[in-house]
Structure 1
Amino acid sequence: MSTQLVAAQDDLDFLHSDSVQLTALMTPLQAYCAMTSDIPGWLARAFRIRDFISRRFNVADIHGFTRRDLGQVPAVGERLDFFAVEAISDQQLVLTSRDTHLAVMVCMGVSAGECGLLQLSVTTSVKCFNTFGRLYMVPVGRVHGVIVRRMLANLQGHRFKRR
């Protein structure tokens, strides 16, 4: 399983990858649901500010993350929060968000790490199409790693049954 990117690596405007050792068996969808289950107030406010500003540039609101029923597995082409599901399996979840300003891809993968322990990797790649996209990524790029690490911390203590 290889990590998917929204464009060739040399053409990307932003690339971030982080990983964490899993304490329980889980699929990437289960990890996504656990990661988005407890969003801090500061991030919810950041989403509202983002929507307020972006609306003035005809960019659709994203509203942030919502709790999801794990019994409903999205199909390719369906929405998962503000992302479109590009691929989904027990080893990989690929999500995209595209508009006239930028394209974002999040690739989450579960694989065997050191000593056979499971590891979750989260890779976000972005391709900007214009000045607004590049300006948008200035603050987002600075805080993206902090946000991902905070969301990865939500995985501690989550236990799921493997499908």
Structure 2
Amino acid sequence: MKKIGGFSAVPRSSIQVGEHLDFFLVEHVAPDILVLTERDRHLDVMTCISTLGNSVTITSSVVTHNAFGRAYMVPVGPAHRLIV
């Protein structure tokens, strides 16, 4: 697993596809949606942050590639639901 190092909380005036937001790669940017990914040999994570009116929705998808990725997700999956 790559060390993610947490979030920097550095303010940004703009975000472009192909840039990194901390450890996430920016895949798509639109006024109402932001798609971020992180990939390594154990798993791929895609997170989508979208808005509709005053609602904000965060959706994440994880694809595991091997036994280590699956084992990692056993405690991490439920914990992330609580965090988000």
Q: Which TM-score tier does this pair reach, normalised by the shorter chain?
A: over 0.9
Does 2:71 correspond to 1:130?
no
What 5-or-longer segments of structure 2 have no aligned partner? none
Does 2:46 correspond to 1:105?
yes
Instruction: Write the letter of the residue equivalent to 2:3.
Output: D
Q: Distance in 2 between matches of 1:145 and 1:137?
A: 12
Normalising by structure 1, report the TM-score: 0.50
Alignment of 1:1-163 (within 5 A): 59-71=1-13, 73-112=14-53, 118-148=54-84
Matched-pair identity in %: 46
* Structure 1 stretches of at least 4 aligned residues deviating more than 4 Å after TM superposition: none
The DSSP-based 3-state class of the residue aligned with 1:144 is helix
What 5-or-longer segments of structure 1 have no aligned partner? 1-58, 113-117, 149-163
Structure with larger RCO (C-alpha < 8 A, sep 6+): 1
Number of residue-to-residue matches in the alignment: 84
> Hey, which of these two has a bigger chunk of strand by percent?
2
Shift of 1:89: 1.6
> Hey, which of these two has a bigger chunk of helix by percent?
1
Q: Distance in 2 between matches of 1:119 and 1:88?
A: 18
